Chains A and B, each alone.
Chain A
């Protein structure tokens, strides 16, 4: 198992550590309600060092990355970040990625459902060795600052210029003589910043961030609360629905794919399935109340007929009920329908996603 660079600091702070696809992760730092409140109302600091990070020198980066990922890297302007995916040769999802055009380099961040060795093999086998790919995990930590007030923490660190960064962009900042790569990104529906931090300064940077986060009324979080926030905000979560339904088309990820560019890893299989038309697709649903269960793997019925299986589920603190995702036959994959959970079980209703309106959407940072 690949251990987190800050595991001792995090353990001392009360973090619960576990494993995700061969990498150590921080599952929780407090109870779910507290962590949820940190991010929705203030700011949460989460260690994301389990995700895989690579640096590719600019010279051969575009050609290499465009044969690896499904999105169009050549169209990604300087300073911008492309949100896309990596598939295997069968067109099945392997990683949810950010590809950042950072002047003399490209940075590839991968949330993958294969371990480090398998992802590295996929990257190298697609021309990574020739392109000069460097694995950054050995000497970097990755931290995520998310929440309604996340911008205030980052502004305090790096100055007011950060408020002008658009969603999906990258910028370099200095801290104790080292370069920190800052991604304006996030999948919680609130403001989000991902920081790629050299290991030499990771501990002092983490301490500084922790102080600033607490000053805003926030605190440390684990990855489990991010899964709940992603579902509530209908951000794709490769660690939930992505594990159980690996077809990017069924998952509604066509927006991550450029069907008009040349071949990329898995493109033949994906394009063939697109031409044939998908038979199932993932949609959202909710229970009547928070007390009603909506367990992953539970079956959804229309009368006496089984029509779907739950692939992701969480408590929606905003709606006061459980929300989930399930793969439905396309002929009935519509919001506003009633089904039962199990034969003759309690009612569930398909819903439009995202079901909530985050407060961060009403804040205009560039006007502050």
Chain B
């Protein structure tokens, strides 16, 4: 289907898709997950329910974000780790604070 009608939103899609793909590939590699990037829905819960990752995995996720994007997730902010999408929101917001898309 055409997304021409989405107009200026195409840049939002492209930027988000890039961050998502980078993060998913690194997450799968680091945690040795038995999935492809397409298998990981961006809204699936990461900790407890959904993928069922534990607190050690959570540390890997934090390192994963740091390694991929040079961005540190504050220790106390577990709300960021709810899903891939919430992590991507955090990354994009931090990139914007640092001065635009990277």
B43 touches A234 (CB 8 A): yes
Contact partner, A352, options B17, B50, B86, Cβ 8 Å: B86
Other-chain contact of A254, B13, B39, B85 (Cβ < 8 Å): B39
| Given A258-B34, A329-B1, A332-B6: A252 touches B12 (CB 8 Å cut-off) | no
Contact with A along B37-67 (1 / 0, CB 8 A): 0111111110011111000000000000000
Give the distance in Å from the alpha carbon of A72 to the alpha carbon of B33 in the complex.
14
Docked pose: A354 CA to B39 CA in angstroms: 18
Chain B interface residue count, Cβ-Cβ cutoff 8 angstroms: 34
Q: How many residues of A contact B (CB 8 A)?
A: 38
* Among A235, A274, A334, A336, contact of B49 (Cβ-Cβ < 8 Å): A235
**A252 CA to B12 CA in the complex, in Å?**
22
Question: Given contacts A277-B38, A354-B43, is CB(A255)–CB(B50) below 8 Å?
Answer: yes
B82 to A, closest residue via Cβ: A354
Output the least CB separation between A347 and chain B (Å).
Answer: 12
Q: Indicate if the CB atoms of B16 and A357 lie closer than 8 Å.
A: no
Task: With A352-B43, A354-B45 as known contacts, state yes or no: A304 contacts B9, CB within 8 Å.
Answer: no
On whether the beta carbons of A353 and B79 are closer than 8 Å, the reply is no
Interface string of B69-91 (1 = CB under 8 A from A): 00000000011001101101100
Q: CA separation between A277 and B39, bound complex, in Å?
A: 10
Query: Given A187-B49, A281-B41, are A254 and B82 also a contact pair (CB < 8 Å)?
Result: no
Give the complex CA separation of A187 and B40 in angstroms.
20
Instruction: Select the residue from A305, A336, A338 with max chain B CB neighbours within 10 A.
Output: A336
Contact of A331 with B3 at beta-carbon distance under 8 Å, contacts A255-B50, A260-B34, A337-B9 already known: yes
Q: Tell whether A173 is near chain B: CB-to-CB under 8 Å.
A: no
CA distance A278 to B3 in the complex (A): 17
From B1, B49, B89, contact of A167 by CB (8 A): B49
With A234-B43, A302-B5: A336-B83 Cβ-Cβ less than 8 Å:
no
| Contacts across chains A and B counted by CB atoms under 8 Å | 96
Say yes or no: A302 contacts B12, CB within 8 Å. Answer: no
Q: Is the CB of A352 within 8 A of B83?
A: yes
Q: How far is the CB of A306 from chain B (nearest CB, A)?
A: 10
Chain A, Cβ-Cβ closest to B2: A305
Name A254's closest neighbour in chain B (CB-CB): B39
> In chain A, residues 345-361, which have Cβ atoms closer than 8 Å to a Cβ of chain B?
352-354, 357, 361
Whole-angstrom distance between the Cβ of B14 and the nearest chain A Cβ? 10
Residues of A within 8 A of B82 (CB): 354, 357
Residue of B nearest to A187 (CB): B49
Given contacts A254-B41, A305-B1, A352-B42, contact A234 B48 (CB under 8 A): no
B1: chain A residues at CB < 8 Å are 305, 307, 329, 331-332
A234–B44 alpha-carbon span in the complex (Å): 8
> For residue B6, which residues in chain A have a CB less than 8 angstroms away from its CB?
302-303, 332, 337
- Who on chain B is nearest to A332 by CB? B3
User: Are A353's CB and B83's CB within 8 A?
Assistant: yes
Q: Is A30 an interface residue (CB 8 A)?
A: no
B79 A254 Cβ-Cβ under 8 A: no
Q: List 24 A-B contacts (CB under 8 A).
A: A168-B49, A235-B45, A254-B35, A254-B40, A255-B35, A255-B39, A255-B41, A281-B41, A302-B3, A304-B5, A305-B1, A307-B1, A332-B3, A332-B6, A334-B12, A334-B16, A337-B12, A352-B42, A352-B83, A353-B85, A354-B82, A357-B82, A361-B78, A362-B78
If A334-B12, A352-B42, A361-B78 are given as contacts, then 12 extra A-B residue pairs at C-beta distance below 8 Å, sorted by A number, are: A252-B41, A253-B41, A254-B40, A255-B40, A255-B51, A259-B35, A283-B42, A303-B5, A307-B1, A334-B13, A336-B89, A353-B83
The 4 A-B pairs at the shortest CB distance, nearest first, are namely A252-B41, A303-B5, A352-B85, A353-B43
Interface on B for A, CB 8 Å cutoff? Answer: 1-3, 5-7, 9, 12-13, 16-17, 34-35, 38-45, 48-52, 78-79, 82-83, 85-86, 88-89
